[in-house]
Structure 1
């Protein structure tokens, strides 16, 4: 433990600004013999050292005898609280980015929400099996403030130190809404455009649905609501896989292609054929709620105050974003 603030929080549970005279005296005494005078381990030695400091302050005229006596009668803490361990991935990353003498970083994390979601991530990871993990992010769309960021199912679990928010993973079907949204903007489809969900070969690529059941003639809206694979690939084929990837690049969202030496992103993009960070994916979904504009996530309150006034990068028109979002609201839970 290092510093007055750390000691104040650990021993007394509050900030240094509200330390009592007795608490201040104890913290003055501790550095001279940190282990020998730890109140949670050696309360008698800690009390003797604290009272000696108070008497010296009295002798020097810094406090009155009455104040010194009152401080000596303060109950001595006999335990040291564990430091808060919420949002450890975020806290560690922001701490490494601190420049100069900046002592405090005020994050956008909502502590009660973070605590609830860390518990949920742990519960989910445990239910999935020994080597499973989970990640969750909550964003305030207006400010892009990250209110919760859970990077794993717990530090005590396998791979728990890995921040899944920042690791590249296959997005599965989660890019489909943006394929349809750009298709709406480009005019190649509308929500009621009829698409065929049937076995279809696109060159040497033949996608199937997750349940291997095909639904025949469906609208684009129905295809997105039900996350059908073949229609999504068909729409991507119309707008062009490279064009779609370039649109994301232009908004600052980069897809990572498999290390297979492929120059063409390919239609497999629609079904998770390229990797993306979960934090970038969250940025895309936040853009749907902000009329198609992508902005960087805000991890500190200073950044969050600036975001509403920053232009961002347009991924799709407001109309296309609103159509896409309206369809997603009808997706089964």
Structure 2
């Protein structure tokens, strides 16, 4: 017992420097590699134990001491690779948590921007409707032509607000996971025809020509007709809005194969927007993002949700959507799963 008590200060004196050195290394590496820090954390107790044993032996290398050193070496050989694997796993988890946190902060910022912008965009038509309705009620406007004009403007503002509310409802279904698709075989030609017809009036008013490419080969996809029509309409609406007068918007479709050899359908919309700035091209599908040049009342009328909704609907079909600059404008390309071939 006396020998044990006498050995304690010696072991402490021999292992304490190792422990302090390990603590200093961990402090220096607190902002560096987690894998290296984990390795140091595992090695320090082993090395400190060996230092304490060697110190209490008086540096007399007896067979017992060599056995202890051998055991410590084996333990180190086992624990260091385990520490490396553990450190890499912790590093991946920390990186995933950091990315998740950044995504959460970005989503929160998008929600705040959405609320602010939608509040502004709803307040503008509401103020106009209120002013025009008060003018009609007070008799300030009483000529039939003026009354008809005010009624038409009230209807236009109401339709704008209805479209914004519908976009919000659609986006909430997508983000909450409440969207349920009724899938069937959908000819893309019919979807594009319906979308072009629906956007024809807006295109004519802006003097933009919308057409389908003559060489387009229209595949049949597996999807939901109303949602796919909404996707194409949103893409066409965005293209028309950013194409200058006398410009063209072209829609084409076809089939292709990805890198794995799997077949898919593709549909793209080309516009004459002049290109998207490099700093904005990765954000065009974000909720409420409208870019620095899209803050006119007309461009803001849909709340900047059209492309975000298009992306959500495409992804709900197990498809992909992307955008890239090409020629005088940009191209929005959608990939969708093909309908299963039918036997004869």
Scaled to the shorter chain, the TM-score interval is under 0.3
Larger Rg: 2
The structure whose residues are more often strand, as a share, is 2
The structure whose residues are more often helix, as a share, is 2
